[in-house]
Amino acid sequence: MIDKSSPLPIYYQLEELIKKQIETGELEPGDALPSEREYSETYQISRMTVRQAVNQLVQNGMLYRQQGKGTFVAERKIEKQLLGLTSFTEDMQGRGVQTSSDVVEFNIVLANAYIAGQMQLKKKDPVYEIKRIRLAENTPMAYEITYLPATLLNGLTKEAAAQSIYRYIEQHLNSPIGQAKQTIEASAADDVEAEYLQIAKGSPILLIERNTRLKDGTPVELAKSVYRADRYKFKVDISR
């Protein structure tokens, strides 16, 4: 409940209260949040305070607003371990979630200077350029552009790319994937990303670039992935 004599700000107490209702399932994803007026009457607090609490929860992605309709409880974010070199398929299967991919483009192109440099290829060496929408239970979660050395992975088909590319790499080369360098940046969805991810243009996204090698050091992948920031958060255990 809200304790007005507590040193904790009231908006913060309300924020925690709503969070708890979401965590315990009292409020479920898709549920409409009670109105500002209802909260303000129930707890005898100002509507400004209610708005402040709700704004905080919209900002951290637990709630979302729909113009003209109100405020709703968002789907739970997928918590992804920051450490651990897993594939999208493994991430989803580990959660018991049905996964699929839409291969929107599948081409062989010539490596530009950046791709060649990252993958230890020569400029203009052939690389697969594969653009995929990655879905979980039919909801688009990520959009990925993947470059793979075409000579090393010859024979890759569009059908195989609709499945796990990591599995293909390991089976085709009979060698395990070993390590990757990865960066994560904040970004905003452009037209294409917004369309593929079914979010509004300009929505926050997480831009992840991964440069992956086999255990023996052979570069096998350069991927640019765009994850929905409203559905993902990264988690890491740290200590000192």
Pick the closest to residue 35 from 74, 70, 76 (CA basis): 70
User: What would the x/- binding string for ligand GLP be over residues 54 to 93, using CB under 6 A?
Assistant: ---------------------------------xxx----
223 vs 229, beta carbon nearer ligand GLP: 223
Amino acid identity for residue 8 in this structure: L
172 is an interface residue for ligand GLP by CB under 6 A: no
141 is an interface residue for ligand GLP by CB under 6 A: no
89 vs 187, beta carbon nearer ligand GLP: 89
Strand order, beta sheet including 126-136: 99-110, 126-136, 139-149, 219-228, 204-214, 177-188
Task: Report, in Å, the least distance between residue 219 CB and ligand GLP.
Answer: 13
Kindly tell me which residue out of 13, 49, 71, 146 binds ligand GLP, with binding defined by CB under 6 A. 146
Q: How many CB atoms are located within 10 Å of the residue 17 CB? A: 14
22 vs 165, beta carbon nearer ligand GLP: 165
Long-range contacts (CB closer than 8 Å, 24 or more residues apart) made by 193-199: 193/143, 193/226, 196/104, 196/133, 196/140, 196/143, 197/133, 197/140, 197/141, 197/142, 197/143, 197/226, 197/228, 198/139, 198/140, 199/228, 199/230
Which stretch, 71-79, 150-158, 161-169, 198-206, contacts ligand GLP (CB under 6 A)? 161-169
User: What would the x/- binding string for ligand GLP be over residues 203 to 232, using CB under 6 A?
Assistant: -----x-x----------x-x-x-------
Q: Do the strands 126-136 and 219-228 form a parallel or antiparallel pair, or are they unpaired?
A: unpaired
Backbone φ and ψ of 98, nearest 5°: -70, 125
8 A C-beta contact, residue 157 and residue 187 = no
8 A C-beta contact, residue 152 and residue 219 = no
Which stretch, 14-22, 41-49, 58-66, 164-172, contacts ligand GLP (CB under 6 A)? 164-172
27 vs 208, beta carbon nearer ligand GLP: 208
165 is an interface residue for ligand GLP by CB under 6 A: yes
Task: Report, in Å, the least distance between residue 209 CB and ligand GLP.
Answer: 8
8 A C-beta contact, residue 130 and residue 106 = yes
Tokens standing for 91? Answer: 């991430």
Pick the closest to residue 224 from 164, 146, 149 (CA basis): 146
17 vs 207, beta carbon nearer ligand GLP: 207
164 is an interface residue for ligand GLP by CB under 6 A: yes
40 is an interface residue for ligand GLP by CB under 6 A: no
Which residue ranges make up the site for ligand GLP (CB under 6 A)? 87-89, 144, 146, 164-167, 208, 210, 221, 223, 225
